[in-house]
């Protein structure tokens, strides 16, 4: 038997900005596809007409490309496939797997209230499932509004989850669910099953909040005669406040757009979400190629990992301080020529946790203090002393020898020099700053500080 090509998918809704909870799901799908020589697809679940927007669609494309998570083939938009969903719903009705439901909202609410009064679990009682096909067609032809409900059936649904092993879900007694709304729009269950089947998706890797949906979707797939995919339900990422990031209130601080503006490298964000809950001895910087080689779903935990800004900053700092400067400079916003910029990055990166901090240090070293400096009389005397020593020999060793003769301590001298040269009392190694600037520029900045 020919082995099926592995096909995964990332299917965000363009109703908001991508956050790192979304990206973790996208990354695991991407890595699994690449590890197995398969395809990674992108689908936009954009049937929510009120909340979906083209701006969010473009944002999704931009964020994924910026992160290097390139998808295979074109983008599938559910809003372009409405006739396909209606066609499948009609087929399910024709084959007896689904039926038109004429119950109004008021009737359904009254039904629910009665069930709760009796202490019963609420659910649809299936009254329209007993309507004959001929009667249903007659009511539809008269223009009576209706939804389409799927016959869920009885028993239980079993399936294997890559992360959680064998799972079993008993089906509710009143479980028939809507797959097509009165306005002809599909529900999530119908659209996702049709899309995955048409695209040949073999592995559905998504958040654990979809676990309750899986039995319904498996029954739909079986009714359509399709191949049930392999499932993997990832634990939801929580923010530092322990809010589920997949919910809007927990994701605002961790949107890809915001983190990019703050100065995070795309490689760092991928590493940061990859190691969440991953039992590995590896540490950043890693990058996509290394993750494809090393990452394993089987090494993920099932408890919800917590993502904090401190974690992100630590990973970003690891990338800034350890990656090749030639890679870092590609993300630095400055007009400084690249060769010079590489030299500057080498010197200042140990003092930077974000690209914005790195850019500030680059400007400080290359241009000098951006505001007039004020030194008192004693401080000016110290700077005059430093200037005179460095006129003879521009080196830290020569300065230290002269300081020893004069009885000056490093804490009295070094912060003043840094202030005069870069506008900060602490920062990159002073000897490297001197080497970068050269004698003429060092003397110029000292004279300017003393003016």
Catalytic residues: 247
Q: List the structure tokens of 259.
A: 């983190």
Distance of alpha carbon 316 from the chain centroid: 15
Q: List the structure tokens of 84.
A: 């396909």
Which residues are paired to 186 by β-bridges? Answer: 180
Cα(24)–Cα(269) distance, integer angstroms: 10
| Backbone phi and psi for residue 207, each to the nearest 5 degrees, phi listed first | -70, 155
Q: Which residues 6+ apart lie within 8 Å of 442 measured at CB?
A: 390, 394, 421, 434
Query: Half-sphere exposure of residue 200, counting CA atoms within 13 Å on the CB side?
Result: 7
Q: Could you tell me the strand order of the sheet in which 230-234 lies?
A: 165-170, 156-161, 230-234, 203-207
Cα(43)–Cα(196) distance, integer angstroms: 10
CA angle 4, 7, 10 (to 5 degrees): 165
Instruction: Spell out where 58-101 has E strands.
Output: 76-77, 98-101
Q: Could you tell me the strand order of the sheet in which 177-180 lies?
A: 98-101, 147-150, 177-180
């Amino acid at each position: 038997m020919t082995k099926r090509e592995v096909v995964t998918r990332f299917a965000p809704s363009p109703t908001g900005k991508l956050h790192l909870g979304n990206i973790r799901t996208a990354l695991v799908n991407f890595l699994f596809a690449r590890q197995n020589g398969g395809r990674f697809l992108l689908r936009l679940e954009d049937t929510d007409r009120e909340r979906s927007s083209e701006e969010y669609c473009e944002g999704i494309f931009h964020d994924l490309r910026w992160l290097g998570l390139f998808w295979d083939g074109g983008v599938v938009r559910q809003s372009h496939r409405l006739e396909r969903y209606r066609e499948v719903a009609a087929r399910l009705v024709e084959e007896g797997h689904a039926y038109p439901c004429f119950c109004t909202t008021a009737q359904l609410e009254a039904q629910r209230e009665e069930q709760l009064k009796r202490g019963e679990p609420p659910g649809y009682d299936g009254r329209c499932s007993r309507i004959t096909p001929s009667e249903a067609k007659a009511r539809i032809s008269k223009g009576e509004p209706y939804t389409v409900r799927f016959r869920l059936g009885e028993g239980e649904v079993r399936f294997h989850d890559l992360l959680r092993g064998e799972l079993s879900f008993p089906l509710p007694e009143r479980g028939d669910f809507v797959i097509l709304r009165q306005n002809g729009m599909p529900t999530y269950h119908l659209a996702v099953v049709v899309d995955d089947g048409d695209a040949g998706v073999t592995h559905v890797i998504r958040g654990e909040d979809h676990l309750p949906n899986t039995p319904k979707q498996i029954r739909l797939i079986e009714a359509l005669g399709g191949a049930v995919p392999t499932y993997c339900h990832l634990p939801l990422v929580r923010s530092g406040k322990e809010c589920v990031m997949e919910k809007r209130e927990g994701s605002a601080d961790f949107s890809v757009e915001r983190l990019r503006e703050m100065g995070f490298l795309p490689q760092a964000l991928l590493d940061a979400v990859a190691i969440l809950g991953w039992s590995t001895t590896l540490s950043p910087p890693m990058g996509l190629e290394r993750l494809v080689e090393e990452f394993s779903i089987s090494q993920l935990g099932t408890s919800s990992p917590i993502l904090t800004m401190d974690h992100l900053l630590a990973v970003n700092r690891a990338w800034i301080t350890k990656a090749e400067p030639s890679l870092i400079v590609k993300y630095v916003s400055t007009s400084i020529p690249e060769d010079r910029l590489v030299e500057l990055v080498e010197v200042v990166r140990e003092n930077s946790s974000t690209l914005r901090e790195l850019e500030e240090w680059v400007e400080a070293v290359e241009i000098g203090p951006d505001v007039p400096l004020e030194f008192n009389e004693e401080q000016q005397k110290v700077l005059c002393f430093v200037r005179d020593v460095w006129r003879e020999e521009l080196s830290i060793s020569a300065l230290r020898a002269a300081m020893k003769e004069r009885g000056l301590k490093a804490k009295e001298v070094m912060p003043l020099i840094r202030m005069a040269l870069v506008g900060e009392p602490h920062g990159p190694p002073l000897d490297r700053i001197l080497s970068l600037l050269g004698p003429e520029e060092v003397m110029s900045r000292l004279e300017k500080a003393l003016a």
